């Protein structure tokens, strides 16, 4: 084997230009595949990152009527929909995929919150339990969080996020100030922010509108005070923190199944469903991947062309070295030895082409990323697979020339000029 490798490199080096031109089809094919796969992987990671965020693994489970989430801003709550009990919440927390879970209520209110004459137009009022901020991966930027006393005393206190603090107070320190929510006074006790700041990648106007929809901010109040400003016995939503990103889908579905077991409504269209961002990400990824798969197949055609080129050059090599083959067979070389020598040479030739193709593909992917701002992520399995695949191409397309060399008649070969 080592002797075959030595002879292969010697043959390639002695015909450098011919060898390079032979490898060119393999180089182009592998480079194109590596560049495309890297772009696919980078784009998919960006989609998932933008939708899911900075890895907080949160899933929201809420009531739907058909395909639309139920809005309790208007009208009464349909019969047979109970509030979520602590027993149901504990069942959700006990799921293998769930790390933590919290109950909350939410209302987008266009004129419900004021500080003096400034309103939080389009902002969200959130009634949260005492574990919500931990589940949501939020910390206090300033001030304090809600305490057990706030819940036991039905205290009218509020926590703002950074957007609502800026919208209402415009640079003024809000801690200790009083805001009005539905004409009820609430004292601001803290400003909350995500423990890990995340900024989505905005590449289009659609992305802008998608990720700017909640920019008006949120105001958090203890859930026990929700009936003071809105209504009693309003069904809550559940915020779930899955143990890992891959657990998000199952955590949401299993939690929804638990809650649906408590429904006693006669309307079969009313069900708890999870807002599965991971599933949304996968659907978008599949749309982009189906197009890119076609590009990979097109790039694969150049590998086929490269393989034919290898076979052609190997046939030429067999013809050039007919006398050498005849001499080796005359002194006792077996067919398997001749076959192995030419197969090794073909495999080495295409493997070198594969290695160069991987390097060119990585460089090409980085250039594409710089010019088009398209994210790339180099795939190590694709790089290794590209080299292995190029070697397989060499072996497959080298079989015919190698078989021809191995079956040459030694007498005829020695007489060949």
Q: pLDDT tens-digit profile of 294-327?
A: 666 766 777 777 777 777 777 777 666 666 666 6
Burial 100-113 (b: 16+ CB within 10 A, else e): bbbbbbbbebeebb
**pLDDT tens string 126-135:** 999 999 999 9
For residue 331, pLDDT beyond 80: no
Max CA distance (Å), the chain: 108
| Residue in this structure with the two tokens 């695949």, named with its chain if needed | 389
For residue 176, pLDDT beyond 70: yes
Mean of all residue pLDDT scores within the chain: 80
Q: Cα dist. 341→100, 345, 362 in Å? A: 63, 6, 32
pLDDT number for residue 3:
62
Which region, left, alpha or beta, applies to residue 242 given φ > 0 means left and ψ of -120 to 50 means alpha? Answer: beta
Q: Can you list the alpha helix ranges (DSSP code H) found in 190-276?
A: 205-211, 226-229, 248-260
- Where is pLDDT greater, at 385 or 152? 152
Give the up-direction half-sphere exposure of residue 238: CA atoms within 13 A in the CB hemisphere: 32
pLDDT number for residue 212:
44
Angle at 103 between CA 100 and CA 108, to 5 degrees: 130
**pLDDT tens string 72-113:** 887 788 888 999 999 999 999 999 999 999 999 999 888 889
Q: What are phi and psi of 192, to 5 degrees?
A: -105, 150
Collapse the DSSP code of 73 into the 3-class scheme (helix H, G, I; strand E, B; otherwise coil) and give the result: coil
Collapse the DSSP code of 193 into the 3-class scheme (helix H, G, I; strand E, B; otherwise coil) and give the result: strand
Element containing residue 103 per DSSP (H, E) = strand 98-109
- pLDDT bin (cut points 50, 70, 90) of residue 226 is very high
- Bridge partners of 192, per DSSP, are 140, 161
Element containing residue 93 per DSSP (H, E) = helix 86-93
How many CB atoms within 10 Å of residue 32?
22
- pLDDT bin (cut points 50, 70, 90) of residue 291 is low
Q: Cα dist. 294→36, 287, 290, 302, 357 in Å? A: 10, 12, 7, 14, 20
Q: What percent of the chain stands above pLDDT 90?
A: 33
Collapse the DSSP code of 161 into the 3-class scheme (helix H, G, I; strand E, B; otherwise coil) and give the result: strand
Give the up-direction half-sphere exposure of residue 322: CA atoms within 13 A in the CB hemisphere: 14
Residues 191-204, mean pLDDT to the nearest whole number: 64
pLDDT number for residue 151:
96
Closest to 306 (Cα-Cα) out of 344, 349, 271? 349
| Cα 7–chain centre separation | 46
DSSP 409: -
pLDDT number for residue 292:
62
Q: What percent of the chain stands above pLDDT 70?
A: 74
Residues 32-38, mean pLDDT to the nearest whole number: 80
Residues 363-382, mean pLDDT to the nearest whole number: 77
SS3 helix, strand, coil % of the chain, rounded to 5?
Answer: 55, 20, 25
- Where is pLDDT greater, at 5 or 26? 26
- pLDDT bin (cut points 50, 70, 90) of residue 209 is very low
pLDDT number for residue 88:
95
Element containing residue 162 per DSSP (H, E) = helix 162-169
- Give the global pTM: 0.60
Select the highest-mean-pLDDT range: 16-25, 155-164, 196-205, 341-350: 155-164
| Residue in this structure with the two tokens 């305490």, named with its chain if needed | 147
Q: Cα dist. 16→10, 19, 23 in Å? A: 10, 5, 11
How many CB atoms within 10 Å of residue 403?
15
pLDDT number for residue 208:
41
DSSP 54: S
Element containing residue 307 per DSSP (H, E) = helix 277-320
Q: Which of 155-164, 325-334, 362-371, 383-392 is predicted least confidently? A: 325-334
pLDDT number for residue 214:
47
Pair type for strands 237-242 and 184-194 = unpaired
For residue 63, pLDDT beyond 60: yes
Q: Residues 109, 156: contact at Cβ < 8 Å?
A: no
pLDDT number for residue 205:
41
Which region, left, alpha or beta, applies to residue 68 given φ > 0 means left and ψ of -120 to 50 means alpha? Answer: beta
Q: Residues 314, 346: contact at Cβ < 8 Å?
A: yes
- The whole-angstrom separation of Cα 89 and Cα 66 is 24
**pLDDT tens string 338-349:** 777 777 877 888
Query: What's the CA dihedral at 213, 217, 222, 227 to 10 degrees?
Result: -60
For residue 215, pLDDT beyond 60: no
Q: Which of 45-59, 90-104, 142-156 is predicted least confidently? A: 45-59
């Amino acid at each position: 084997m080592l002797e075959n490798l030595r002879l292969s490199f010697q043959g390639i080096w002695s015909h450098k230009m011919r060898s390079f031109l032979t490898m060119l089809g393999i180089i182009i094919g592998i480079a194109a595949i590596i560049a495309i796969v890297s772009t696919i992987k980078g784009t998919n990671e960006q989609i998932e990152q933008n939708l899911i965020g900075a890895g907080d693994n949160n899933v929201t489970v809420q009531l739907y009527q058909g395909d639309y989430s139920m809005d309790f801003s208007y009208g009464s709550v349909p019969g047979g929909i109970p509030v979520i009990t602590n027993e149901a919440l504990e069942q959700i927390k006990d799921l293998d995929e769930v790390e933590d879970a919290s109950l909350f209520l939410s209302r987008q209110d266009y004129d419900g919150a004021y500080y003096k004459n400034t309103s939080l137009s389009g902002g969200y009022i959130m009634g949260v339990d005492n574990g919500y901020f931990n589940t949501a991966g939020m910390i206090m930027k300033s001030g304090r969080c809600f305490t057990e006393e706030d819940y036991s005393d039905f205290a009218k206190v509020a926590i703002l996020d950074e957007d609502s603090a800026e919208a209402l107070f415009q640079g003024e320190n809000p801690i200790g100030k009083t805001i009005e929510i539905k004409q009820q006074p609430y004292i601001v006790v803290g400003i909350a922010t995500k423990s890990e700041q995340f900024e989505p990648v905005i590449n289009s106007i659609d992305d802008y509108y998608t990720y700017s929809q909640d920019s008006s901010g949120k105001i958090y109040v203890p859930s026990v005070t929700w009936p003071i400003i809105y209504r009693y016995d309003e069904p809550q939503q559940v915020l779930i923190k899955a143990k890992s990103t891959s657990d998000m889908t199952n955590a949401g579905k299993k939690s929804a199944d638990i809650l649906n077991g408590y429904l006693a409504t006669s309307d079969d269209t009313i069900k708890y469903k999870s807002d599965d961002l991971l599933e949304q990400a996968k659907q978008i990824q599949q749309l982009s991947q189906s197009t890119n798969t076609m590009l990979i197949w097109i790039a694969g055609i150049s590998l086929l062309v490269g393989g034919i080129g290898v076979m052609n050059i190997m046939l030429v090599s067999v013809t050039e070295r007919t006398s050498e083959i005849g001499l080796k067979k005359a002194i006792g070389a077996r067919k398997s030895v001749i076959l192995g020598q030419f197969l090794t040479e073909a495999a080495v030739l295409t493997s070198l082409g594969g290695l160069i193709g991987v390097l060119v593909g990585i460089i090409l992917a980085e250039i594409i990323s710089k010019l088009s701002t398209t994210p790339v992520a180099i795939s190590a399995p694709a790089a290794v697979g590209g080299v292995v695949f190029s070697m397989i191409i060499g072996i497959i397309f080298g079989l015919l020339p190698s078989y021809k060399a191995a079956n040459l008649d030694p007498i005829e070969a020695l007489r060949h000029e």
